[in-house]
Amino acid sequence: MTVADDTRSRSGAAVACAVLILCASLCIQLSAALAKGLFGAVGTVGTSGLRMAVAALVLLVLTRPTLRGRSRRQWAGIVLYGVAMAAMNVLFYNAVARLPLGVAVTLEFLGPFAVAFFGTRTRWETVFPLAALAGVVLIGSPAGGATGPGLAWGIGAAVAFGSYTLLAGYVGRVSSGFSGLALSVTVGAVLLAPFSMAAAPRVPGTGGWLAVVASGIVGVAVAFSLTCAATRLASPRVTGTLLAADPAMGALVGALALGERPTVPAAAGIALVVLSGAAVTWRAGAER
């Protein structure tokens, strides 16, 4: 392979990674807006557990993962990934229950942002994650009356999301296809099973169950599969910075689905995170 072919190949992988991350972000934010209507009857933890259970069932049927032939190190990654998934879902939904969607997503993004920032190699490369952070600050600034508990849940979700970003690349590399992802989602579903079983009788009728199933498939099974595929194309640093699209997507979905209209500073923040994500994609295609 020539240098030109290698460059084109890496540029194509970077663009594919960006597309996958954007699609995953849209799936997550749409499912969050859908699931928010269940919090009053089912609770945030119960909603998270039911979504994970649906996603685990779908992924297990589709991938049919084998349990044999995996090393202890592989199992450790799978289990830790599942714990990070469960924690991220519960913490994020508790933040969404107390904050506007765009603000909750903004706080959660601090996790993958930290992955991107601490993975930079030169001072020049810090420009992109810093620009993304500036955009996040602009998006979150109009929130005003954010409560202490909401901020605490959001920061907790950020820690879980950062761990999820790092573990996604590892599990995707050491596992065959998406079998490791299916097992990790199953681990998360098992951890939340006591809460999901207690919440199941409180799901409000057929419409509520349709919301649970749709949210689980779109927001967990599809979104996590897209993220897993993306991390196999680029490093956790690049993937973490591309996840800067999450606050922008959260603000957009919040405006369209929940009536949370973005202000001028929020619109400027959206532009910053999108531009920084595009810049990182270009740099990833040029780097070895």
- Percent of the residues in the chain that have a pLDDT greater than 70, as a whole number: 82
**Three-class SS of 77-135:** HHHHHHHHHHHHHHHHHHHHCCCCHHHHHHHHHHHHHHHHHHCCCCCHHHHHHHHHHHH
pLDDT band at 288 (very low <50, low <70, confident <90, very high): very low
- Using CA atoms, how far apart are residues 29 and 13, in angstroms rounded to an integer? 24
Q: Is 213 exposed, middle or buried (0-12, 13-18, 19+ CB in 10 A)?
A: middle
Which range among 30-39, 61-70, 119-128, 132-141 shows the weakest confidence by mean pLDDT?
119-128
B/e letters for 257-268, b = 16+ CB within 10 Å, e = fewer, are: eeebebeeebee
Pick the closest to residue 141 from 23, 33, 241, 251 (CA basis).
251
User: What are 229-244's pLDDT values in tens digits?
Assistant: 887 777 666 776 777 7
288 vs 284: CA distance, rounded Å:
8
Q: Which of 85-99, 175-189, 211-225 has the lowest mean pLDDT?
A: 175-189
Is 49:192 a contact under the CB 8 Å cutoff?
Answer: yes
Q: What is the pTM of this model?
A: 0.80
Assigned token pair, 71: 């090393």
pLDDT at 144: 45
Task: Judge contact between 102 and 254, C-beta under 8 A.
Answer: yes
Predicted confidence (pLDDT) per residue in 161-175, tens digit: 888 877 776 665 665
Rounded CA separation 288/276 (Å):
20
Nearest to 251 by CA among 122, 91, 143: 143
- pLDDT given for residue 270 in this prediction: 75
Closest of 104, 44, 92, 114 to residue 251, by C-alpha: 104
Name the phi and psi angles at 203, rounded to 5: -65, 125
Within a 10 A sphere around the Cβ of 97, how many other Cβ atoms? Answer: 17
Statement: residue 284 has pLDDT above 70: no
At residue 181, the 3 state secondary structure works out as helix
Query: What DSSP element (H or E) covers 75?
Result: helix 72-96
Residue 5 neighbours by CB distance under 10 Å:
9
| For residues 2-17, average pLDDT | 66
CA distance 250 to 246: 6
pLDDT of residue 73 exceeding 90: no
